[in-house]
Structure 1
Amino acid sequence: MFQSVLKEVVEGTEGGIASLLMDFEGIPVDSYSKPDAPFDINTIGAEFSVVIKSIQRAAQMLEAGDTAEIAIQAAKVTTVIRVLNERHFVAVSVRPDGNVGKARYMLRVKAPVLLKDM
Protein backbone atom coordinates (compact mmCIF):
# COMPACT_ATOMS: atom_id res chain seq x y z
CA MET A 1 0.00 0.00 0.00
CA PHE A 2 2.77 2.45 0.93
CA GLN A 3 5.36 1.04 -1.45
CA SER A 4 4.21 3.10 -4.43
CA VAL A 5 4.77 6.33 -2.47
CA LEU A 6 8.15 5.13 -1.22
CA LYS A 7 9.12 4.25 -4.80
CA GLU A 8 8.14 7.77 -5.93
CA VAL A 9 10.46 9.21 -3.27
CA VAL A 10 13.41 7.09 -4.43
CA GLU A 11 12.79 7.44 -8.16
CA GLY A 12 12.12 11.18 -7.81
CA THR A 13 15.46 11.78 -6.07
CA GLU A 14 18.68 11.88 -8.06
CA GLY A 15 20.91 9.24 -6.48
CA GLY A 16 18.05 7.72 -4.46
CA ILE A 17 18.72 4.15 -3.35
CA ALA A 18 15.95 3.06 -0.99
CA SER A 19 13.15 4.32 1.24
CA LEU A 20 11.12 2.94 4.11
CA LEU A 21 8.24 3.58 6.45
CA MET A 22 8.95 2.28 9.95
CA ASP A 23 7.74 2.57 13.51
CA PHE A 24 10.01 3.76 16.31
CA GLU A 25 10.38 0.20 17.64
CA GLY A 26 12.26 -0.71 14.45
CA ILE A 27 9.41 -2.64 12.84
CA PRO A 28 9.15 -1.92 9.10
CA VAL A 29 5.72 -1.05 7.71
CA ASP A 30 6.82 -1.01 4.06
CA SER A 31 9.90 -0.30 1.98
CA TYR A 32 11.23 0.09 -1.53
CA SER A 33 14.79 -0.49 -2.73
CA LYS A 34 16.34 -0.24 -6.16
CA PRO A 35 17.60 -3.63 -7.37
CA ASP A 36 21.23 -2.52 -7.06
CA ALA A 37 20.89 -1.17 -3.50
CA PRO A 38 24.16 -1.97 -1.67
CA PHE A 39 22.45 -2.55 1.70
CA ASP A 40 19.21 -3.57 3.38
CA ILE A 41 17.11 -0.47 4.10
CA ASN A 42 15.20 -2.28 6.86
CA THR A 43 18.43 -2.89 8.79
CA ILE A 44 19.40 0.77 8.44
CA GLY A 45 15.95 1.84 9.64
CA ALA A 46 16.02 -0.46 12.64
CA GLU A 47 19.43 0.85 13.72
CA PHE A 48 18.51 4.49 13.15
CA SER A 49 15.22 4.13 15.06
CA VAL A 50 17.29 3.91 18.25
CA VAL A 51 19.18 7.07 17.29
CA ILE A 52 15.95 8.93 16.48
CA LYS A 53 14.47 8.13 19.89
CA SER A 54 17.62 9.48 21.57
CA ILE A 55 17.47 12.67 19.52
CA GLN A 56 13.79 13.12 20.37
CA ARG A 57 14.53 12.74 24.11
CA ALA A 58 17.39 15.25 23.88
CA ALA A 59 15.18 17.77 22.05
CA GLN A 60 12.51 17.40 24.73
CA MET A 61 15.02 17.85 27.54
CA LEU A 62 16.31 21.01 25.87
CA GLU A 63 12.74 22.20 25.28
CA ALA A 64 13.63 22.57 21.60
CA GLY A 65 10.30 21.25 20.35
CA ASP A 66 9.37 18.16 18.41
CA THR A 67 11.94 16.52 16.15
CA ALA A 68 10.91 16.93 12.51
CA GLU A 69 13.85 15.82 10.37
CA ILE A 70 17.24 14.19 10.78
CA ALA A 71 20.00 13.69 8.21
CA ILE A 72 22.85 11.25 8.72
CA GLN A 73 25.73 11.58 6.29
CA ALA A 74 28.22 8.73 6.03
CA ALA A 75 30.95 8.08 3.50
CA LYS A 76 28.84 5.78 1.33
CA VAL A 77 25.29 7.01 1.92
CA THR A 78 23.25 9.89 3.30
CA THR A 79 19.97 9.00 4.99
CA VAL A 80 17.28 11.62 5.50
CA ILE A 81 14.61 10.81 8.08
CA ARG A 82 11.29 12.63 8.51
CA VAL A 83 9.19 12.03 11.62
CA LEU A 84 5.55 11.49 10.61
CA ASN A 85 3.86 11.17 14.00
CA GLU A 86 4.52 9.87 17.51
CA ARG A 87 4.85 6.29 16.20
CA HIS A 88 6.29 6.38 12.65
CA PHE A 89 8.99 7.85 10.47
CA VAL A 90 9.89 7.74 6.78
CA ALA A 91 13.45 7.62 5.50
CA VAL A 92 15.28 7.77 2.19
CA SER A 93 18.90 6.84 1.51
CA VAL A 94 20.86 8.64 -1.20
CA ARG A 95 24.25 7.98 -2.82
CA PRO A 96 27.06 10.42 -1.90
CA ASP A 97 26.67 12.24 -5.23
CA GLY A 98 22.87 12.33 -4.93
CA ASN A 99 20.59 15.30 -4.36
CA VAL A 100 19.93 15.44 -0.61
CA GLY A 101 17.86 18.61 -0.97
CA LYS A 102 15.51 16.83 -3.35
CA ALA A 103 15.31 13.88 -0.93
CA ARG A 104 14.25 16.25 1.85
CA TYR A 105 11.67 17.85 -0.45
CA MET A 106 10.24 14.49 -1.54
CA LEU A 107 9.84 13.35 2.07
CA ARG A 108 8.15 16.63 3.03
CA VAL A 109 5.72 16.43 0.09
CA LYS A 110 4.93 12.72 0.46
CA ALA A 111 4.55 12.73 4.27
CA PRO A 112 0.88 13.88 4.16
CA VAL A 113 0.10 11.15 1.59
CA LEU A 114 1.57 8.49 3.87
CA LEU A 115 -0.24 9.87 6.92
CA LYS A 116 -3.56 9.88 5.07
CA ASP A 117 -3.21 6.18 4.29
CA MET A 118 -2.18 5.14 7.82
Structure 2
Amino acid sequence: MPFRETLKELVESVDGGLGAVIMGYDGIAIDQFLVDDAGMDLHLMAVEYATVIREVKRTVDVLGTGDMEEVTVNTGQTRIIVRTINDDLFLLLTLHHDGNCGKGRYLLRRAAPLLHDSLS
Protein backbone atom coordinates (compact mmCIF):
# COMPACT_ATOMS: atom_id res chain seq x y z
CA MET A 1 0.00 0.00 0.00
CA PRO A 2 1.85 3.12 -1.17
CA PHE A 3 1.01 6.04 1.11
CA ARG A 4 4.13 8.06 0.33
CA GLU A 5 2.27 10.31 -2.17
CA THR A 6 -0.34 11.19 0.46
CA LEU A 7 2.38 11.94 3.01
CA LYS A 8 4.35 14.00 0.48
CA GLU A 9 1.25 16.03 -0.37
CA LEU A 10 0.62 16.68 3.33
CA VAL A 11 4.16 17.89 3.95
CA GLU A 12 4.36 20.04 0.84
CA SER A 13 0.93 21.62 1.45
CA VAL A 14 1.87 23.25 4.75
CA ASP A 15 4.42 26.03 5.30
CA GLY A 16 7.35 24.65 7.28
CA GLY A 17 6.53 20.99 6.59
CA LEU A 18 9.48 18.67 7.24
CA GLY A 19 8.07 15.17 7.18
CA ALA A 20 5.19 12.83 7.87
CA VAL A 21 4.89 9.19 8.85
CA ILE A 22 2.15 6.61 9.32
CA MET A 23 3.14 4.51 12.30
CA GLY A 24 1.76 1.94 14.67
CA TYR A 25 1.68 2.49 18.41
CA ASP A 26 4.22 -0.34 18.50
CA GLY A 27 6.75 1.89 16.71
CA ILE A 28 6.62 0.14 13.34
CA ALA A 29 6.34 2.58 10.43
CA ILE A 30 4.01 1.85 7.52
CA ASP A 31 5.39 4.61 5.30
CA GLN A 32 7.07 8.01 5.58
CA PHE A 33 8.11 11.07 3.62
CA LEU A 34 10.85 13.52 4.60
CA VAL A 35 12.00 16.63 2.74
CA ASP A 36 15.63 16.45 1.62
CA ASP A 37 16.93 19.26 3.82
CA ALA A 38 14.98 18.37 6.98
CA GLY A 39 18.13 17.57 8.95
CA MET A 40 16.47 14.99 11.20
CA ASP A 41 15.88 11.28 11.56
CA LEU A 42 12.09 11.17 11.16
CA HIS A 43 11.90 7.44 11.78
CA LEU A 44 13.76 7.69 15.09
CA MET A 45 11.66 10.69 16.11
CA ALA A 46 8.42 8.85 15.33
CA VAL A 47 9.54 5.70 17.18
CA GLU A 48 10.35 7.74 20.29
CA TYR A 49 7.08 9.66 20.11
CA ALA A 50 5.16 6.38 19.60
CA THR A 51 6.05 5.42 23.18
CA VAL A 52 4.75 8.75 24.50
CA ILE A 53 1.61 8.67 22.34
CA ARG A 54 0.87 5.10 23.45
CA GLU A 55 0.98 6.25 27.09
CA VAL A 56 -1.23 9.27 26.38
CA LYS A 57 -3.70 6.96 24.60
CA ARG A 58 -3.68 4.57 27.57
CA THR A 59 -4.27 7.45 29.99
CA VAL A 60 -7.17 8.80 27.93
CA ASP A 61 -8.69 5.29 27.88
CA VAL A 62 -8.32 4.92 31.67
CA LEU A 63 -9.92 8.31 32.28
CA GLY A 64 -12.80 7.48 29.94
CA THR A 65 -12.84 10.95 28.38
CA GLY A 66 -13.41 9.69 24.85
CA ASP A 67 -11.10 8.48 22.13
CA MET A 68 -7.78 10.26 21.70
CA GLU A 69 -7.86 12.33 18.51
CA GLU A 70 -4.81 14.58 18.42
CA VAL A 71 -1.65 15.42 20.33
CA THR A 72 0.69 18.34 19.63
CA VAL A 73 4.22 18.77 20.97
CA ASN A 74 6.04 22.07 20.49
CA THR A 75 9.79 22.30 20.99
CA GLY A 76 12.36 24.99 20.29
CA GLN A 77 12.96 23.60 16.80
CA THR A 78 9.87 21.66 15.74
CA ARG A 79 6.15 21.17 16.09
CA ILE A 80 4.92 17.60 16.10
CA ILE A 81 1.25 16.96 15.37
CA VAL A 82 -0.11 13.46 15.85
CA ARG A 83 -3.56 12.40 14.63
CA THR A 84 -5.04 8.95 15.25
CA ILE A 85 -6.04 6.88 12.23
CA ASN A 86 -7.45 3.88 14.09
CA ASP A 87 -6.76 1.86 17.26
CA ASP A 88 -3.44 0.67 15.86
CA LEU A 89 -2.05 3.53 13.76
CA PHE A 90 -1.39 7.25 13.93
CA LEU A 91 -0.28 9.94 11.51
CA LEU A 92 2.59 12.21 12.57
CA LEU A 93 3.43 15.50 10.88
CA THR A 94 6.53 17.46 11.82
CA LEU A 95 6.99 21.14 11.04
CA HIS A 96 9.59 23.83 11.63
CA HIS A 97 8.80 25.59 14.90
CA ASP A 98 7.48 28.57 12.94
CA GLY A 99 5.49 26.38 10.51
CA ASN A 100 1.75 26.74 9.99
CA CYS A 101 0.48 24.49 12.79
CA GLY A 102 -3.19 25.36 12.19
CA LYS A 103 -3.05 24.29 8.56
CA GLY A 104 -1.11 21.16 9.54
CA ARG A 105 -3.83 20.21 12.04
CA TYR A 106 -6.52 20.83 9.42
CA LEU A 107 -4.75 18.70 6.80
CA LEU A 108 -4.27 15.83 9.27
CA ARG A 109 -7.92 16.00 10.31
CA ARG A 110 -8.86 15.63 6.63
CA ALA A 111 -6.30 12.93 5.80
CA ALA A 112 -6.83 10.59 8.76
CA PRO A 113 -10.33 9.34 7.74
CA LEU A 114 -9.15 8.79 4.16
CA LEU A 115 -6.17 6.76 5.39
CA HIS A 116 -8.47 4.86 7.75
CA ASP A 117 -10.67 3.87 4.82
CA SER A 118 -7.63 2.88 2.71
CA LEU A 119 -6.31 0.67 5.52
CA SER A 120 -9.65 -1.07 6.17
Q: How does 1:10-25 map to 2 (within 5 A)?
A: 10-25=11-26
TM-score between the two structures when normalised by the length of structure 2 = 0.95
Q: Residue 46 in 1 paired to residue 36 in 2?
A: no
Q: Which moved more, 1:89-98 or 1:54-63?
A: 54-63
For 1:114 and 1:40, locate their aligned partners in 2 and report how far apart those are by CA, in whole Å.
Answer: 23
Structure 2 unaligned regions, length at least 5: none
CA distance in 2 between counterparts of 1:59 and 1:96 reads: 27
**What do you get for the CA RMSD once the two structures are aligned?**
0.8
What is the TM-score normalised by the length of structure 1? 0.96
Instruction: Quote the residue 2:114 is aligned against.
Output: 113
Structure 1 residue aligned with 2:82: 81
Report the Cα distance in structure 2 between the residues aligned to 1:96 and 1:52, rounded to whole angstroms.
Answer: 20
Is residue 2:103 matched to residue 1:102?
Answer: yes
Q: Which has the higher contact order (CA 8 A, sep 6+)?
A: 1
Q: Structure 1: 5+ residue runs without aligned partners?
A: none
Where in structure 1 do 4 or more consecutive aligned residues deviate above 4 Å?
A: none
Question: What fraction of aligned residue pairs are identical, expressed as a percent?
Answer: 32
Match of 1:38, SS state, is coil
Following the alignment from structure 1 to structure 2, what is the Cα–Cα distance between the partners of residues 25 and 91? 14
